[in-house]
Amino acid sequence: MKNFVVMVIASWSCLVTHAAAQERDTMPRPYERLNIGGDDYAISFRAGRGVYEVWSTSGSVQNDLGSRRLLVTRPHDGADAAPRPVNMPPFNDDSSMYVGVTAFHPCDPDNMLFVTDRKFSGRRTSNDIYHGTWNGTQWMMQAASFNSEHWDDTPVFGRNGSTIYFSSDRRLPGSGRADLYVVRRAGDGWSAPQLLGAICSDTVHEVSPFVGTDGRLYYASNISGDLDIWSVALDDAGLPTGTAQPLTIPGVNQRGSNELHPVIAPDGTTFAFSSDRGVGRAPYRIYSISTGACTTTIDISVVAKTQRKDVQLTRLFGSMDSISYVSTTVRIRDRLLNVTDEITTDLNGRGRYTIRSASGDGIGMGERTRTFEVTATPRSSAYVGSTDTLVVSVAECGQTITHQVFLHDTTVVRTTCDFVFRTFNVPFFITAYWCPTTRKYRDYTPCASLFTDDLPCNTLVQPEACASNEAYTYEFVPAVVRRIPRRNENCVRYDEFNSHGPEWAEQVDVAIERMRDEVAAVFNETCVQEAVRRGLPLNVVMFGTTDDRSIDPKCQYTGKAYEDVQEYLGSIQVDEQIRPFIKTHQRFNSKGYGGRAGGNQLLSDLRSMYFAIMFDRLCRESIPLYARLRQ
C-alpha cells in the first residue's frame, strides 16, 4: 500500500507518520504574549504550505464592551515576536465594531472563516459569518450563505473541511441562549443548517465549537451555571453520538468563571482556551496546557547496496542486489527548528533518533507535519550517500516509524547510468483502491478521485410545460442527488478515506513533487545528457509493492476498461498480461492474472498504471526536456 519506486536511481523521498505521548503540564497557564488587550480570546492556527501563524481576537476594553480586532503572531519568529494587527481588507474596516473569531480550513491555510458585524446593504447587522480566501496578495471575503438575520458566530471547519459548525441564537433571538448547528458541503455551496439537537437545549447556551483530530466535538455550555468546556463524540455523519461530558483536563473548567473557545494546536501538543477567571469580573485571557507533547522516535537502519552479485544468492533467487548493514554516522536536519543532530548506528546498522519537541512559549509551534533531511555518511569512497526527506505527521500520537537509508556503490552506478528514487511509507492509496490519494494532481489521471466534495454534480433542469393557470401555480422541486459509496462492489475503505484522506493527500502531494524534482535533476547528469545527445532512449519504470492485506472474493475493479484508458497512456507501456483484466467489474480474485497473490497483484498493477499516467503528465508539464523527449 505505501511503497512506490520510480526508476529512470541517487536520492529518494519518504513520508512517515508517528507520535507518542509524554507528560503534560499540571495546570493551564496564561499565554502572555497574546494577552495584551482589554479582552483576549479565540485563537486559531493557520498551518500548512510553509505557513504557521496564530490568530487571536483582542478587545479594546474588557468585558466584551468595546471594539474587537484581529491579531496575528508568528511563533517561529522567536519568543519576542509580538502580535500585530491584521490591517488588510477585509478585516478591521471602519464599518465594523466587531471582527474576530477566525478558523482555518484543516487542509488549506488559504481558506478561512471569521465573524464581523460590518454593515450589510447599508445597515449594521448582528454578527455574521464570512468566508475568507487568500489569492496570493490579499484576502477576499464573502458572506456565508447560511447566515440568519440574528446572531451567528464562532464558526469552525470539521475534520476534512466538508462541514462547518457554528453557534446561533436564531431559535431564540436576543435571548442570550445560542445553539450549535452544522452545515455540509453541497456542490459549490453549503446545505441548510442542522441543529445539533442531541446536545442543545432551549434553556442552555452552547457556543464556540471545535472539532479535534480525535473525532470529538469540543464546545462551551453553561448547563452547569457558568460556561465550561464539554466534548462529545461525532458519528460518520458529523453528528453528536453518545453522552456529552465536561472536559477532564485538570484546571481547565473552574467554578465561578467562564471557559470557552477550545482549540488544539495542529501538532497536538497544546490545548488552548479563553477564560475570565480571576477576582471579580476579570478580563478574558488566553490560557494553554500541554496535552502531552508528542515525542517521535525513528528507528533508522543504514544499508550499503551494490549491483555486484552474490553468485550463490543469484543461483537461488535470481538477479538481485547485494546488501550489508553499516555502522556509521547519520545526520538528521530538522527544517522547522533549523538544527542538525547526529546519531551512530551499531554493527547491525541500527540507530534511534528522538525528534525534538517544537512546542514553545506555552503554545504549540509545530505544523501538522514536520520535515527532516536524513543523510548517512559513507565509510568508503566507493559508496555515495543520498538525502532522504521525511515528512512526519504529528497530528496523532501512538505510531512507530522505521526507515532505511541506502548507500550506493558508485563504481557500478556510474557505469550503468541508472537512478533509483525510493519513496517509503507514503499513503499513496486508500485500502483496496487504485486511484492515487492526491488532491492537487487528481485531474492528471483518468481514474475517479475520492475527493469529489468540491466538484459540481449534474445540474437538474426545470422541465417545460408547467405553466401557471388561474387555479394553480407550479414550482419545480429538484430531487436530492445522493452520493453513495460502492461499498458492496469495490471494497474500498471509505471510512479510512473519511478519517485520513485530506491529511494523507497533503503528504502524497509533497512526495509527488519531491519525485518530480528528483527526475528533473537527473537530466543534469553527464551520462543522461550524453544519452540525449546520442539519441538513445531513456526508460522510466514505475512499480509499487502489492497491498499485503487480503481482498474479499466479491471485490471488483469498478474503473475504466483498458480501451478507455489507452488514450491517456501515450508511450507508457502496460504489461500485456494485465490488459485483458483491466475491464469494469473485473473481480480481483478471478482466475488467471488477477488470481496471483490473492488478487493483490492486479490491484498493484492498476495502481502503477494510474500513477504512471499522472506522473508522466506532471513531468511533461513541468520539465521541458522531459516533454521534448516524450514528443
pLDDT of residue 13: 28
Total tally of structural domains belonging to the chain: 2
Q: What is the mean pLDDT of residues 464-471?
A: 72
pLDDT of residue 293: 52
Looking at per-residue pLDDT, the higher value among 268 and 579 belongs to 579
pLDDT of residue 320: 46
How far apart CA 312 and CA 322 sit, in angstroms, is: 11
Backbone torsions φ then ψ of 84, nearest 5 degrees: -120, 140
Q: What is the mean pLDDT of residues 496-501?
A: 83
**Residue of 556, 558, 552, 554 whose CA lies nearest to 598:** 552
Burial of 573 (0-12, 13-18, 19+ CB in 10 A): exposed
pLDDT of residue 15: 29
Domain enclosing residue 597, as ranges: 427-450+485-543+551-631
What's the DSSP call for residue 264? E
Question: Are 285 and 432 in the same domain?
Answer: no
- What's this model's pTM, rounded to 2 decimal places? 0.58
Looking at per-residue pLDDT, the higher value among 380 and 288 belongs to 288
pLDDT of residue 280: 64
- Lowest mean pLDDT: which of 238-242, 319-323, 493-497? 319-323
User: Does some domain include residue 421?
Assistant: no
User: Does some domain include residue 319?
Assistant: no
- Is residue 597 scored above 50 in pLDDT? no
Are 209 and 220 contacting, i.e. CB atoms less than 8 angstroms apart? no
- Is residue 359 scored above 70 in pLDDT? no
Question: Are 433 and 284 in the same domain?
Answer: no
User: Does some domain include residue 226?
Assistant: yes
User: Does some domain include residue 592?
Assistant: yes
C-alpha cell at 72: 496575528
Looking at per-residue pLDDT, the higher value among 544 and 595 belongs to 544
Backbone torsions φ then ψ of 513, nearest 5 degrees: -70, -35
pLDDT of residue 340: 92
List Cβ neighbours of 184 (8 Å cut-off, separation of 6 or more).
162, 163, 190, 191, 238
pLDDT of residue 363: 56
User: Does some domain include residue 113?
Assistant: yes
The alpha carbon of residue 374 and the mean position of all alpha carbons in its chain are separated, in whole angstroms, by: 23
How far apart CA 183 and CA 348 sit, in angstroms, is: 55
- Lowest mean pLDDT: which of 292-301, 357-366, 529-538? 357-366
- Is residue 219 scored above 60 in pLDDT? yes
Are 142 and 136 contacting, i.e. CB atoms less than 8 angstroms apart? no
Query: Which of the four pLDDT bands, split at 50, 70 and 90, describes residue 281?
Result: low
Q: What is the CATH number of the domain that holds 34?
A: 2.115.10.20
User: Does some domain include residue 357?
Assistant: no
Among 273, 290, 307, the domain boundary falls at: 290
Strand blocks (E) in 35-178: 39-48, 51-59, 68-73, 84-85, 99-105, 108-116, 119-120, 123-124, 128-134, 139-143, 152-157, 163-168
Calculate the average pLDDT of the chain. 79
DSSP β-ladder status, 387-393 and 369-376: antiparallel
- Lowest mean pLDDT: which of 43-47, 313-317, 363-367, 627-631? 313-317
Share of the chain above pLDDT 70, in %: 75
Query: For the segment 31-49, what is each residue's pLDDT rounded down to a tens digit?
Result: 888 888 788 999 999 987 6
- Is residue 291 scored above 90 in pLDDT? no
pLDDT of residue 372: 84
List Cβ neighbours of 378 (8 Å cut-off, separation of 6 or more).
328, 384, 385, 407
Among 261, 290, 319, the domain boundary falls at: 290
Looking at per-residue pLDDT, the higher value among 553 and 47 belongs to 47
User: Does some domain include residue 370?
Assistant: no
Q: What is the mean pLDDT of residues 318-327?
A: 66
Among 290, 321, 350, the domain boundary falls at: 290
Radius of gyration of the chain (CA): 28
List Cβ neighbours of 220 (8 Å cut-off, separation of 6 or more).
206, 207, 208, 227, 228, 229, 230, 258, 259, 260, 261, 262
pLDDT of residue 43: 92
Share of the chain above pLDDT 90, in %: 25
Query: Which of the four pLDDT bands, split at 50, 70 and 90, describes residue 7?
Result: very low
pLDDT of residue 137: 84
- Is residue 584 scored above 70 in pLDDT? yes
User: Does some domain include residue 390?
Assistant: no
